[in-house]
Structure 1
Amino acid sequence: MVHPLRFGIWASVHGPRAAHQDPEEPYDASWERNRALVLKAEELGYDATLVAQHTINPHQEDLDQLEAWSAAAALAALTSRIEIITAIKPYLFHPVVLAKMALGIENISRGRFAINLVNAWNRPELARAGIGFAEHDERYAYGREWITVVSRLLQGERLTYKGKYFDVQDYALRPKDLYRARPRIYVGGESEPARALVADHGDVWFINGQPLADVAALINNVASRPRGAAVPLRFGLSAFVIARSTAAEADAAHERLLRLAEKDAPMKAIQKQNTDPKVVMMQTMQKSARVGSNGGTAAGLVGSYDEVADRIIDFHAAGIELFMLQFQPFEAEMTRFAEEIIPRIRQRQAERGVERSHRQAAGRVG
């Protein structure tokens, strides 16, 4: 089944995504900035926002970092339509506590909340807190047990569970979800443990930005795995968009951001030092020059309005339902995308739908 295309934005919880020394995008990770951007995104017709979770800034520790879960609760109360997806690193919250928080935000939002399970890559965030930074596969084993507890509590189950990491006895959360069985669960990560985890426990797999052929191969790999859930897995893609009237203008804008990003080299060196080298996202991001986080422009959404629209349609045909987008400068480019790209996509989809109906009608006549 092909689901309708949806578009979301990454909340600016730790400042610009492409370059930190851009005069057109001063650093601002404040609540006021994020509130304004998400409300504007909802007004423009975007379908979702992703609020990344870090307790300290992953790029430079003396920079501001918005707290994800308190911000998500506030956004839930302020918005009326947009889906609020909030990332969670399992080691930072006991699953019973997190499930209670998630249900609270789900009910504040009237059924528009989702969690994004990520198993952490930034070593200091956990190590300096005394939590400890476990080895890569151990983090995924912990995350698997953690999401098992969370998912069952979110569904209103009275739970008794004993595993390696958690011992939960006769626990139930009330009020349960008033709008559906439970909030949606997104899962990030592309390693083998991550793929197995999303196949078993996820509703949507978030894939980091990369070329279409690579994304299609990832989708085929995970979609072919057995699932305990009756509902098929859905797929999302992170991407940084640079779209202009012509491809030449888009390339020039891309080059500008690449040059600015070079100034962040000291910051990136620290980030690399703090990152678990087994994290596949970081390995993927080294394959080509790009701007943006989580793959950024590697997804190829750089070009004329028509080119970007066509590439998005190609990704959709491969199975991507939700595009979680980054821009810089954020508000201007988010508006440009909503006004120039989304209408082109809708028009192309409508035209293809008419053509398909004509072909089907002709087949029936013949």
Structure 2
Amino acid sequence: MSTLPPRFGIWALVHGSRAALQDPDEPYDASWARNKTLVFEAERLGYDSVLVAQHTINPHNPDFDQLEAWSASAALAALTERIEIIAAIKPYLYHPVVLAKMAQQIEHISGGRFAINLVNAWNRPELERAGIGFAEHDARYAYGREWITVVDSLLRGERTRFRGEHFNVDDYLLRPADPFRSRPRIYVGGESEPARELVADMGDVWFINGQPLDAVKTLIADVSGRKRPTPHEPLRFGLSAFVIARESGEAADQHLAHLFALAAKDAPLREQQKSNIDPKAVMFQTFAQTPRVGSNGGTAAGLVGSYDTVAQRIADFHRAGIELFMLQFQPFETDMRIFAEEVIPRVRRLLG
């Protein structure tokens, strides 16, 4: 069981709806205006974190809108007061020295509430069409390991010297250093063997994609048993999940069926998207095994049911070691409020 109280976060709507793209009750709106309002309300409702996923082009359809993660995160850092802002980063898109300086600045703007979510990319066109190239799966993780090694050192305020296959950094120092903590928190996603090795060596929190409790327990046992470098505290765990909480289980199941029906309309787009996905990405191999709605595992975590049922399942995940629950909803704003008002208090009562 996590020794820390549970935290609850939301996925920013950086590319619109999470479960179905053609929902009359959920406008496909990835605008800065909507996301700013969404995060303001999440903070007011007591949510602890917001994850701003990074895509330069929309992963569903390049003609659709896409929020830019890092400029949006800097703005949110200035406008909010309490919520943690987690910006995803794909290492091939930024040199580590440049990214570390950006992260350090957002850490100062936020007053020590900023975090990085390291992801090693699965959407081929995003990199190929930019002329960057899309390396093989394990090669991307080798690149990411060098990249985060440089970033980690710079964020700690260290005079950094690094020579590797991809980077040659000579006597680099960033100032001003972080006055709030040793460095911003680093989240790592991915469930392949290279991802597990990377998070054990370099991460603070491992983001696990939504899946059943027993599978999550197995993943936590594997990674928590790995040796950690001495500068790092014990690894913490987060879970992505799509939530449908209603007064009754029947009402929740009806809404799930409604979302499945809406998602079926997106089938041609999803088929097109498959050709853009790295088949070695474990996330998509896992997704193929369980029908679900929502991204990053979505409803596969089983957080669908009455308020009491969803609260109990979250308590069970927390007892298994999950500290942060990074949540999706649809309709997002309405269900985000319901969860805050009905489910979070129940979870806290269950966990004492």
Query: Which TM class, normalised by the smaller chain length?
Result: over 0.9
Alignment of 1:151-190 (within 5 A): 151-190=152-191
Q: Percent identity at matched positions?
A: 71
The corresponding residue for 1:362 is: none
Matched, 1:64 2:65: yes
Deviation sequence 1:281-322 (CA, Å, 0-9, x none): 011111111100000000000000000000000000000000
Residue 311 of structure 1 aligns with an amino acid whose one-letter code is R
1:97 & 1:296 partners in 2: Cα distance? Answer: 33
The corresponding residue for 2:249 is: 247
Alignment equivalent of 1:268, drawn from 263, 270, 283: 270
The corresponding residue for 1:344 is: 346
Aligned residues: 350
Residue 275 of structure 1 aligns with an amino acid whose one-letter code is I
The corresponding residue for 1:23 is: 24
Deviation of 1:347 (Å): 1.4
1:343 & 1:44 partners in 2: Cα distance? Answer: 12
More displaced stretch, 341-350 vs 115-124: 341-350
Deviation of 1:264 (Å): 0.5
Residue 20 of structure 2 aligns with an amino acid whose one-letter code is A
Residue 208 of structure 2 aligns with an amino acid whose one-letter code is I
Deviation of 1:4 (Å): 0.9
The corresponding residue for 2:261 is: 259
Q: Which runs of 5+ in 2 are unaligned?
A: none
1:268 & 1:208 partners in 2: Cα distance? Answer: 19
Higher radius of gyration, 1 or 2: 1
2:26 & 2:221 partners in 1: Cα distance? Answer: 38
1:227 & 1:150 partners in 2: Cα distance? Answer: 18
Q: Which runs of 5+ in 1 are unaligned?
A: 351-366
2:115 & 2:277 partners in 1: Cα distance? Answer: 26
The corresponding residue for 2:106 is: 105
The corresponding residue for 2:150 is: 149
Alignment equivalent of 1:329, drawn from 328, 331, 338: 331
Matched, 1:204 2:198: no
Deviation of 1:323 (Å): 0.2
The corresponding residue for 2:82 is: 81
The corresponding residue for 2:292 is: 290
SS at match of 2:200: helix
* Moved beyond 6 Å, runs of 4+: none
Please provide the CA RMSD for this pair: 0.6
SS at match of 2:206: strand
User: Normalising by the residue count of structure 1, what TM-score does the alignment of the two structures yield?
Assistant: 0.95
Deviation of 1:3 (Å): 1.2
2:225 & 2:200 partners in 1: Cα distance? Answer: 9
Deviation of 1:178 (Å): 1.5
Deviation of 1:267 (Å): 1.2
Deviation of 1:6 (Å): 0.1
Deviation sequence 1:307-342 (CA, Å, 0-9, x none): 000000000000000000000000000000000000
The corresponding residue for 1:213 is: 214
1:310 & 1:143 partners in 2: Cα distance? Answer: 37
Deviation of 1:348 (Å): 1.6
SS at match of 1:274: coil
1:332 & 1:86 partners in 2: Cα distance? Answer: 24
Residue 106 of structure 1 aligns with an amino acid whose one-letter code is E
